[in-house]
Amino acid sequence: MNNHKSGRRRGNPAELFRRTLGLVSSRWFIYPILILLLFPLAKNAVYSMMEMNGFTIVDPLVPTEEIMRGGPPRDGIPSIDTPKFISANKTQLQPHDKVLGITLNGVSKAYPINILNFHELVNDVFEDQSVAVSFCPLCGTGIAFDRQVKGSIRTFGVSGLLYNSDLLMYDRESESLWSQIEGKAINGPEKGALLKRIPLEHTHWGVWKAQHPTTLVLSEDTGYWRNYQSSPYPNYHQSDRTYFPVSHTDKRYHPKTWVIGIEVGSEKKVYPFPELAKTSGKLTDIISNQTFLIEYNSSANSAKVYDSDGKPVPAITAFWFAWMTFHPESQVFKAVATPR
């Protein structure tokens, strides 16, 4: 009797073998299915979180795989945090040298492109207003921002990362990454926050000096040794190629054609300089029921935008490819042929 009960507890050896074989077989069937189901999730998890240049990128507002290392590490391109300025009559700039010009709180300053090519960011102050002057050589974009975010002043640096070939800045206080062209934090504690843009002119030194004779000029005494008379991007402006891939291309113009773009709410419009060159140099346009004046200077190959009250608008001068990859839905200005 005891042996019989004991045998029933252990089970029939043949039956146990069949059950084990069935269990193993079912696992061999289930495991591949589980792997197929979980692989996309694991892949997305890898893409949504990674370390790049010392930044932890977690679920950014842009595709993680489109954030790229530009080459230099974080701060490998050093921002200018204690800028020095000289008077207009002490600079060695030539009339056709390009500058970014800002007039704010009664003060005018010029930032030579030949310096910004090597630093990309200047943390500056106009009276009591803190300003970040940014320049991305790959996109041709010079944009100024108010450095105050949520009531605190931020200091911006060059992350060494790019999105759509454009500079990703970071603020040292929160280590959030900011898209220069969008003026938006795409990663970090400030994700989704927007920077306030400040009107800026992208023009020639001779034109800026004539309009602002008392202007100050960013000095080459930056604290770093650089050959500011050379360019780290030789022939880049003439080439139809970009160093890094972008998410959208538009072949209507050469990729490095200069343009100026306006954003009014959800509407965007861009004015290619070859089209502006066909006009008298001044034109009015209506965007989102608002009237704007666009002025084009053919001698300086530059443009600026004013609102209906004559106040400067923080429009963006850029290469055609850069504007269109961020604003593929943008309206494009086309000059109307003048009848003969």
Q: How far is residue 33's CA from residue 26's CA, in Å, rounded to a whole number?
A: 11
Residue 9 φ/ψ, nearest 5 degrees: -65, -40
SS3 256: coil
Spatial contact of 152 and 137, defined as CB atoms under 8 Å apart:
no
**Distance separating alpha carbons of residues 156 and 175, to the nearest angstrom:** 9
Residue 220 to residue 200: CA distance in whole angstroms: 21
Q: Are 77 and 160 in contact (CB under 8 A)?
A: yes
The pair phi, psi for residue 5, each rounded to 5°, is: -65, -40
pLDDT at 22: 54
| Residue 207 token pair | 């034109």
- Residue 326: per-residue pLDDT: 98
Looking at residue 49, what is its pLDDT?
Answer: 72
What are the per-10-residue average pLDDT scores of the chain (340 residues)?
42 53 47 45 54 96 96 97 97 97 97 98 97 98 97 98 98 98 98 98 97 97 95 93 95 98 96 97 96 96 96 98 98 78
Predicted confidence at residue 10, as pLDDT, reads: 47
CA distance 236 to 146: 30
Exposure on the CB side of residue 150, measured as CA atoms within 13 A: 10
Give Cα separations from 122 to 33, 66, 83, 142, 189 (angstroms). 54, 26, 7, 11, 23
pLDDT value of position 4: 43
Total length of the chain: 340
> What pLDDT does residue 33 have?
46
Q: What pLDDT sits at residue 109?
A: 98
Q: Which tokens in the block code for residue 298?
A: 């053919």
Distance CA 59, CA 50 (A): 9
Structure tokens at 316: 């963006």
Rounded distance between C-alpha atoms, residue 302 and residue 210, angstroms: 15
Other beta carbons within 10 Å of 157: 20
pLDDT recorded at residue 144: 98
User: For residue 165, which amino acid is it?
Assistant: S
pTM of the complete model: 0.85
